[in-house]
Amino acid sequence: MDHAEFVLVRSFLGAALSYPGGRSVAVSPDDTDFQQLKREGCITLRRNRQGLFYGKPTKRGVDFARQPAGGKPHLSLSVHASIAEIEDQGRRLLRGCSNVAANGQRLSFNMEKATEILRTCASEVFDKQAEYLLSIEGYRQEWLAETFDRTLFSTLELVDPLDLLVDSAPEMRSGVRRTLLASLEKRKKRPASTPANESGDAPTKVASPQTIRETPPAELKNETRTKVLPSFPKRAAWLAERLHERSWNKHDLSRERGPDHKTVQKILDGLAVREDVLDKVANGLSAKKGKVNVVDIPQN
């Protein structure tokens, strides 16, 4: 966590913490999450004359941020080095997507090419981390969910902010998110089995297949059956696009008679939900930009 004072800025693409000197960091939480951090004593938070939140981390917040989130282990140095190499190559390739005049003015930006580069970077960075985490004894699936979020926002940070001020930028973000969802579901179903080596690429013990086994329902207690977790990547991408169209987040959908924000997050993560939840999603989305029917929601 950075000790410097930040300003929380928002645009059609998302949110970012802006720091002195022009540096910015993309973030996913909304205003209510920052207010919760203030109540917990992790940050100071006030509004400036423009109505934007600004503040800085407290000592308690800094100490908390230094702990591995959700108990997720730290990555090895070799994994960090591999990620840095992928991201450096991505930045070099992305510079070739911009057509810049001699005076520094941006003339055009090849969004289609940039999206393909970002999708490749995101997939490779996620796989490097997932392979390492899946090899650790005591692996938990929530580690991959956290890795998904971090990879999504770190990948989008590779793009120059000025190149994001175009109408097709949301499509680029959705494309990267869809690629990561596919990588996430693939890793949930097929754990890695990379053996340990002296460079620290993977710990010695490989995760047991039982770490991805669902607990059987009551009527199947006497059976030993391994089930594949359901995957709904198209539904996740569809909902992400509908929220973006409305400039909403998961809390906004909850406030409009939709499911609670935790259930909305499950859908965005590609997880299974009950049919009545989909009815609530359709009803909530219908509050803005026209009627949405439950049959419009993808079933995969």
For residue 197 the two structure tokens come to 């080596």
Residue 278, token pair as written in the block: 């989909």
pLDDT digits over 88-112, tens only?
A: 998 889 888 877 778 777 677 788 8
pLDDT of residue 164: 61
Query: Per DSSP, what are the bridge partners of residue 106?
Result: 100
pLDDT for 73 equals: 79
Closest CA to 53 of 65, 66, 69, 36: 36
Query: Which pairing describes strands 6-10 and 46-47: parallel, antiparallel, or unpaired?
Result: unpaired
Report the distance separating Cα 276 and Cα 60, nearest Å: 41
**Contact at 8 Å (CB) between 130 and 207?**
no
Indicate the DSSP class of residue 167.
T
Residue 216 has a pLDDT of 45
Question: CA-to-CA distance for 241 and 138, rounded, in angstroms?
Answer: 35
pLDDT band with cut points at 50, 70 and 90 for residue 224 = very low
**Burial class of residue 177 (count of CB atoms within 10 Å of its CB; 0-12, 13-18, 19+):** buried
For residue 284, the number of C-alpha atoms closer than 13 Å in the C-beta half-sphere is 26
Strand ranges inside 51-118, DSSP E: 53-55, 98-100, 106-109
Cβ count near 197 (within 10 Å): 10
CA separation for the pair 253, 235 (Å, rounded): 15
- Whether 232 has a pLDDT exceeding 60, the answer reads yes
The region of weakest confidence among 147-156, 216-225, 243-252 is 216-225
Band (124; pLDDT cuts 50, 70, 90):
very high
pLDDT band of residue 125 (cuts 50, 70, 90) is very high
- Which whole number is the average pLDDT over 31-45? 80
Q: Percent of the chain scored above 90 by pLDDT? A: 6
- Residue with the two structure tokens 């190499």: 85
CA–centroid distance for 182 within its chain: 13
> Regarding predicted confidence, which is higher, 100 or 52?
52
Average pLDDT of the residues of the chain: 76
Measured between alpha carbons, how far is 52 from 115 in angstroms, rounded to an integer? 30
Query: What residues form DSSP beta bridges with 24?
Result: 18
Q: Given this model, what pLDDT does residue 163 score?
A: 61
Q: For residue 228, is pLDDT > 60?
A: no
- C-alpha to C-alpha distance for 38 and 58, rounded to whole angstroms: 9
Q: Which residues lie across from 17 on neighbouring strands? A: 8, 25
Q: What is the C-alpha to C-alpha distance for residues 249 and 81, in angstroms, rounded to an integer?
A: 34
9: β partners: 16
At 120 the pLDDT is 92
Check: CB of residue 238 under 8 Å from CB of residue 298.
yes
Sheet architecture: strand order including 6-10: 24-27, 15-18, 6-10, 53-55, 46-47
Predicted confidence at residue 196, as pLDDT, reads 39
C-alpha span between 122 and 84 (Å, rounded): 12
- CA 90 – CA 96 distance, rounded (Å): 10
**Regarding the domain delimited by 233-296, which CATH topology (the fold level of the hierarchy) does it fall under?**
434 Repressor (Amino-terminal Domain) (1.10.260)
Give the pLDDT mean for 41-56.
84
pLDDT band at 5 (very low <50, low <70, confident <90, very high): confident
Give the domain ranges of the chain: 6-65, 73-211, 233-296
pTM of the model: 0.43
pLDDT tier at 167, thresholds 50, 70, 90: low
d(CA 13, CA 49): 23
pLDDT, one tens digit per residue, over 189-214 is 755 444 434 344 444 333 333 333 34
3-state secondary structure of 172: helix
pLDDT digits (tens, 9 = 90+) for 233-289: 888 888 888 888 888 888 888 888 889 888 888 888 888 888 888 889 988 998 888
